[in-house]
Amino acid sequence: MASNIAATDRLAAGVRQDDGSAGRRRSLRQSAEIALFLLPALLLFIVFVLIPLVEAVYYSGFKWNGLEPLTNWIGLGNYQRALDDQFFTGAIAHNVFLLVLSLGVQQPIALALALALSRGFRGRTFMRLVFFTPYVISEATIGVIWLLVLQPNGPLDQILGAVGLGQFIQLWLADRSLVMTTLFVVISWQYFGFSMILYLAGLTQIPHEVREAASIDGANGAQALRYITLPLLGPTIRVAVFLSAIGSLQVFGLVFIMTSGGPFHASDTMVTWMIEQGLTRTALGYGAAMAVILGAIGLVFSLLYQRFVLRRDIEGSVTSFAG
């Protein structure tokens, strides 16, 4: 491919040698064309992505409500404030809690379901359709439905009572020690299908022959899983784990809808607390500092993960998982 481009390039260069002025006109024209193709995307990206990102870093150095002139430079003051803010450090802890449970509980379940669905049986297409459905519904709708399912004496409590588990009924969203676990369950309910789809896609890439060969060599199901399927699924698992971890740091919509970070900050995440401070209380400088910390945590995690975990996978797979 690259050689083809190089060839056309040489061709263009040849044209340029034949007739200097016409060639220059042509290359000027070509530059203009490239600019026309590239500029709309580049401008959008610079204006709405890069500039706000840089501005977040800049604003984070000011004590600022967003209205007055930007004059009150306090250096790292907002960062100091964030580290001293027990609600922000608590929010980080909540994100880490979600991250650990996502990797430890949600991913294994998604993987197990993908392995189950990768077997041929009647109804698997229907099952896959069902399992993925929550992912395509908005977090707002799912949040509202679960809010009502979980309300005291609501349908969930009724079901528990009806099957004789009444003593396990809790204040699912109002109990400070339980609320994050409840939210984790709802988040997993919505997103396990996404990881499952990734695993299924990875499983279809494993040639049947490999598993057949293992079974001919006398490997039982567990052995084939342990020594054949899981190792070959490695790249997919590493990407799915990465996406799940990054997603856990970004949690916002479901929490915002269901608890708004309550009761009394027991379920704040980094983003809900940043939005609360930055927009509701117009502490924009402080909010920006939290955004930068959030971005930095994600960035450091991404770089370390790519350096130490994704490194062994084929080049290119690292840059194409963002779907």
Partner 1 sequence: MTTEIRPGSTHTPASRAWRAINRVLFYAILMFVAALVIVPMLYAVLSGFRSTGALAAAPLGLPDPWITSNYTEILTSGSFWQAFGNSALIAILSTILTLVTSSAAAYALARFQFRGRNAVFNLFTLGLLFPLSVAILPLFLLLHTLNLLDNPWGVILPSVAFGLPTSIIILRPFFRSIPSEIEDAAAMDGCTHFGFYWRILLPMSRPALSTIGVLAVVASWNAFLLPLVVLSNPETHTLPLAVRDFNAQYTQDTARVLAFATLSMIPALLFYIAAERQIIAGLGSGAVKG
Work out how close the CB of 57 gets to partner 1 at its nearest, in angstroms, rounded to a whole number.
9
Specify the stretch interacting with partner 1 by CB under 8 A; choose among 71-79, 86-94, 165-173, 310-318: 310-318
Is 23 a binder of partner 1 (CB under 8 A)?
Answer: no
Work out how close the CB of 45 gets to partner 1 at its nearest, in angstroms, rounded to a whole number.
5
| Interface residue with partner 1, options 92, 183, 187, 239 (CB under 8 A) | 239
Residue 202 DSSP one-character state: H
Is 315 a binder of partner 1 (CB under 8 A)?
Answer: yes
Is 48 a binder of partner 1 (CB under 8 A)?
Answer: yes
What are the residues facing 73 on neighbouring strands? 62
Work out how close the CB of 66 gets to partner 1 at its nearest, in angstroms, rounded to a whole number.
6
- Inter-helix orientation angle 139-149/179-204, to 10°: 130
* Alpha helix ranges (H) inside the chain: 2-18, 20-45, 51-59, 77-84, 86-101, 107-117, 124-132, 139-149, 155-162, 179-204, 208-216, 221-224, 230-232, 234-250, 253-258, 270-275, 284-308
Is 319 a binder of partner 1 (CB under 8 A)?
Answer: yes
- Give the per-residue contact string, 153-172, with partner 1 (x = CB under 8 A; - = no): xxx--xx--x----------
Is 77 a binder of partner 1 (CB under 8 A)?
Answer: no
Structure tokens at 267: 């379920």
Nearer to partner 1, 178 or 206 (CB): 206
Is 55 a binder of partner 1 (CB under 8 A)?
Answer: yes
Structure tokens at 314: 């084929």
Q: How many CB atoms lie within 10 A of CB 104?
A: 9
Question: Could you give phi then psi for residue 217, rounded to 5 degrees?
Answer: -75, 5
- Give the per-residue contact string, 264-303, with partner 1 (x = CB under 8 A; - = no): -------x--xx--xx----x--xx--xx-xx--xx--x-
Q: Which of 235, 219, 227 is nearest to 318 (CA)?
A: 235
Q: At CA 182, angle to CA 322 and CA 174, rounded to 5? A: 130
Is 34 a binder of partner 1 (CB under 8 A)?
Answer: yes
Within 194-233, which residues bind partner 1 (CB under 8 A)?
194, 197-198, 200-202, 205, 215-216, 220-222, 224-225
Nearer to partner 1, 89 or 317 (CB): 317
Q: How many CA atoms lie within 13 A of 290 on its CB side?
A: 29
| Interface residue with partner 1, options 77, 90, 235, 263 (CB under 8 A) | 235
3-state secondary structure (DSSP) of residue 62:
strand
Specify the stretch interacting with partner 1 by CB under 8 A; choose among 73-81, 94-102, 164-172, 313-321: 313-321
